[in-house]
Amino acid sequence: MLATPWLSVDDGRAAALPPLAQGCAADSLDVASPIRIASLNSGVTLRRAPNSDQPLRATLNALGAPDPVQWLLNDRLQGSSEGDALMKIPLPQRGDYRITALARDGAFATLRLKVLGPPDIPQSR
């Protein structure tokens, strides 16, 4: 839900789908709530600042995840965050990256991005 950042916890719960009525067959909606990675769009290209020797860091959060979220960078665990808390993920080298947010209930969201080196700085004469 795109309005998640502006909803209170109570409003978020009230907006969720109710449980299935007794006797209804289980469906996939019980298994996972959709989550979304905020702060960066998939497909973005990032570049280190000129004269910087510090690696880039992506500061992200997973919207729609009330429980702990595990964060993966190219399929390697980077850490975890609680609910929609911020997670900083270092992007140390040039190249293509895939970031995945994985919720306890199996819901996940993935974004892809590219990191370029610092721009060339013209030499003064």
| Residue 41 belongs to a domain | yes
| Residue 12 belongs to a domain | no
Per mean pLDDT, which range of 9-13, 25-29, 42-46 is the poorest?
A: 25-29
pLDDT at 75: 93
Average pLDDT, the chain: 82
* Helix locations, the chain, DSSP H: 9-15
Domain count within the chain: 1
- Give the predicted TM-score (pTM) of the model: 0.70
The whole-angstrom separation of Cα 11 and Cα 56 is 35
| Residue 35 belongs to a domain | yes
pLDDT band at 1 (very low <50, low <70, confident <90, very high): very low
- From its phi and psi, is residue 28 left (phi > 0), alpha (psi between -120 and 50) or beta? alpha
Average pLDDT over residues 116-123: 70
| Cβ neighbours around 50 below 10 Å, total | 9
| Residue 24 belongs to a domain | no
Please give the residue range of the domain that contains residue 98: 30-116
Sign (positive or negative) of CA dihedral 70, 71, 77, 82: negative
Which CATH number does the domain housing residue 84 bear? 2.60.40.10
